[in-house]
Amino acid sequence: MSIPFTKVQGIGNDFILIDALGSNSHFLNRDWTMITPKICDRHFGIGADGILIAADSNNADAHMVIVNADGSYSDMCGNGIRCFVKYLIERADFKPKNRNITVETGSGIVQVEIHMSGSIVDSVRVAMEPVVLDPETIPVLNAQSSPDIHHTLQINNTTYDLACIGMGNPHAVLFIDMPIDDFPLTDIGPIVETHPDFPNKTNFEVANIVSPHHIKMRVWERGVGVTLACGSGACAVLVAARLRGLSDKQATVSLPGGDLKMQWDGTNNKSEPVYMSGPAQLSFTGMLPIPDTE
């Protein structure tokens, strides 16, 4: 059988979106754990950082299912949700009652604000929550404080001082003084991702504070590897920077794929969502052949 798909991207973080809404709900029954690594392969498949499946929801306007490129499921994806909402409005003929819609994810219901230009979605502002600071909930083992914003790991005779933040998925943030492109992310990233202190594995971000209003970062995504952008990672970086007194509550986070506008009014004693604004693009459509024996 063949399934229609839409290729989408948010500042270079790209996905294959499958519409399983309404009469297409049977698409959810495919074995996406096995299928996803094949179609996300950039040499032998379509190529993507993961897939997004649009499904019906009894609790929100729609349900977003996220599968990483390695076939593992993820609870939240900041860039993915912006692409997801743009697809709903522009291609799935979804008619929001106002500028706000809700999306069900593995980490809960997410509030999304849409900015339109006629029938086109110009930008999407996402209330990313919950911000998780409790080490047991993230989860991270051998926590050295709560919040665990100075978690030390010894890797290859070097001590790394990490800030552990949950954004519906686990993140470990390392602030560095060197240019972010000089950090050996492809070497250290997989070691941090699979370190025993992170029982569910972790995303790993390296960040450089340019000013209190500007942060540069790169990311090693759990289950994917190096990507051009990670929305939840940008949120984790801002939260970590704020908790360490390195950033203002509003900052631009620059990633290799582009910039995100971020705001967090919370503290370690005050729970607030991180507001993330950025673009999304629908790149192209096609048909995805999937053997019936999958």
**Cα–Cα nearest to 91, from 231, 260, 283:** 283
Segment 40-52, tens digit of pLDDT: 999 999 999 999 9
Contact 134, 128 (CB under 8 A): no
143 within domain boundaries: no
Q: How many domains does the chain have?
A: 2
205 within domain boundaries: yes
Over range 79-107, report the average pLDDT: 89
| 191: CATH | 3.10.310.10
Q: Is the same domain home to 117 and 77?
A: yes
> Has 232 been labeled as part of a binding site?
yes
The residue annotated as part of the active site, out of 40, 77, 164, 235, is 77
Q: Is the same domain home to 119 and 160?
A: no
> Has 78 been labeled as part of a binding site?
yes
Segment 114-153, tens digit of pLDDT: 998 888 999 999 999 889 999 999 999 999 888 999 999 9
Q: Is the same domain home to 62 and 177?
A: no
Q: Is the same domain home to 123 and 159?
A: no
Q: Is the same domain home to 185 and 83?
A: no
> Has 245 been labeled as part of a binding site?
no
Residue 292: its pLDDT value, please? 62
* pLDDT more than 90, % of the chain: 87
Q: Is the same domain home to 9 and 117?
A: yes
Q: Is the same domain home to 206 and 264?
A: yes
Q: Is the same domain home to 47 and 123?
A: yes
> Has 193 been labeled as part of a binding site?
no
> Has 222 been labeled as part of a binding site?
yes
The pTM (predicted TM-score) of the whole model is: 0.90
Q: What is the dihedral of CA 143, 75, 130, 95, to 10 degrees?
A: 170
**Cα–Cα nearest to 11, from 176, 235, 229, 245:** 229
Instruction: Please indicate whether residue 40 is annotated as part of the active site.
Output: no
Residue 255: its pLDDT value, please? 98
284 within domain boundaries: yes
Q: Which domain holds residue 42?
A: 2-128+280-289
35 within domain boundaries: yes
> Has 169 been labeled as part of a binding site?
yes
Residue 294: its pLDDT value, please? 43
135 within domain boundaries: no
Residue 130: its pLDDT value, please? 81
Q: Long-range contacts made by residues 28-33, C-beta under 8 angstroms, separation at least 24?
A: 28/53, 28/55, 28/65, 30/3, 30/290, 30/294, 31/294, 32/65, 32/67, 32/71, 33/67, 33/71, 33/72, 33/73
Instruction: Please indicate whether residue 230 is annotated as part of the active site.
Output: yes
169 within domain boundaries: yes
> Has 221 been labeled as part of a binding site?
yes
The residue annotated as part of the active site, out of 40, 83, 164, 230, is 230
Q: Is the same domain home to 7 and 102?
A: yes
Question: What is the widest separation between alpha-carbon atoms in the chain?
Answer: 56
Q: Is the same domain home to 107 and 201?
A: no
Segment 208-259, tens digit of pLDDT: 999 999 999 999 999 999 999 999 999 999 999 999 999 999 999 999 999 9
* pLDDT more than 70, % of the chain: 98
> Has 203 been labeled as part of a binding site?
yes
133 within domain boundaries: no
144 within domain boundaries: no
Q: Is the same domain home to 60 and 116?
A: yes
Strands (E) across the chain are located at 2-10, 13-20, 50-55, 62-68, 73-74, 100-105, 108-117, 120-128, 151-155, 158-166, 170-175, 203-211, 214-221, 225-227, 250-255, 258-264, 274-278, 281-289
Q: Is the same domain home to 11 and 77?
A: yes
